[in-house]
Structure 1
Amino acid sequence: MATPVLVVDDSTISRKMVIKALPAGWDVEISQASNGMEALAAYRAGKAEVMLLDLTMPVMDGYQVLETLKREGLNCFVIVISADIQPKARERVLSLGAVAFVQKPVKTEELTRILQEYGLL
């Protein structure tokens, strides 16, 4: 059965790059969102067992998505993909429940390693 994967970024180009970086042969059903509100709606619709989440977006940013998921006890495997590589950003997203923090541009090898580490691949 395909794993529901949600790619969240306000940039269409960035979403396409993340999708292209997904491991070949991984059985996924991909959905996309351009902001945090759309991401939470897609999650609640069952479209996000795995969420690949940008931090800087309009309407609702990635931090707010993580805060909402944590506050509501929602269960989702979140990998943050961001150009913001400051140590404080990494610490904050991990404290909010993300399992990993990956720098843009994302590399297939790094996603593969994380997914294998958690038994999702």
Structure 2
Amino acid sequence: MTIPVLVVDDSPMARKMLIKALPEGWDISISQAGNGLEALAAYREGKAEIMFLDLTMPELDGFGVLEELRKEGMNSFVIVVSADIQPIAQERVKQLGAIAFLKKPVNPNEVLSVLKQYGVTL
């Protein structure tokens, strides 16, 4: 079954690097968003069973996206991918419902480990 995956980052290069770090052969359809408002629109269209979410973006940041998803009854695995590795940021995203926090640049083995930990079919 094809899994809809959404990669959210305001940097096209960061999105490209993250997509390259996803497991090979994984049955997914990838959508991309350049800010939080685009991410919410894609989520509402069913394009984000799994979401890789940056924190620092224009329009609406990752914290705002998580807050809105929580209000809407989040039915998505959200993995935050950010250069902001402060413990307070990591704690806040987990309180808002993110399942994991990965630092940039993302390591493919860490992505795989998180997906397996949450039982995502690869």
TM range, smaller chain: over 0.9
- Pairing 1:1-121 to 2, within 5 Å after superposition: 1-120=1-120, 121=122
Letter in 1 for 2:72: E
Deviation (angstroms), 1:7: 0.1
- 3-state secondary structure, aligned to 1:7: strand
- 3-state secondary structure, aligned to 2:23: coil
Deviation (angstroms), 1:25: 1.2
Q: C-alpha separation between the residues in 2 aligned to 1:26 and 1:119?
A: 13
Which consecutive residues of structure 2, in runs of 5 or more, have no partner in the other structure?
none
Q: How many residues align?
A: 121
- 3-state secondary structure, aligned to 2:78: strand
- 3-state secondary structure, aligned to 1:52: strand
Kindly, what percent of the aligned residue pairs are identical?
A: 66
Q: C-alpha separation between the residues in 2 aligned to 1:74 and 1:115?
A: 18
TM superposition score normalised by structure 2: 0.98
TM superposition score normalised by structure 1: 0.98
- 3-state secondary structure, aligned to 2:58: coil
Q: C-alpha separation between the residues in 1 aligned to 2:71 and 2:31?
A: 23
Which consecutive residues of structure 1, in runs of 5 or more, have no partner in the other structure?
none
Q: C-alpha separation between the residues in 2 aligned to 1:74 and 1:110?
A: 23
Letter in 2 for 1:16: K
Letter in 1 for 2:13: I
Q: C-alpha separation between the residues in 1 aligned to 2:69 and 2:18?
A: 22
Q: C-alpha separation between the residues in 2 aligned to 1:74 and 1:97?
A: 8
Q: C-alpha separation between the residues in 1 aligned to 2:6 and 2:72?
A: 19
Aligned structure 1 segments of 4 or more residues deviating by more than 6 angstroms: none
Deviation (angstroms), 1:74: 2.4
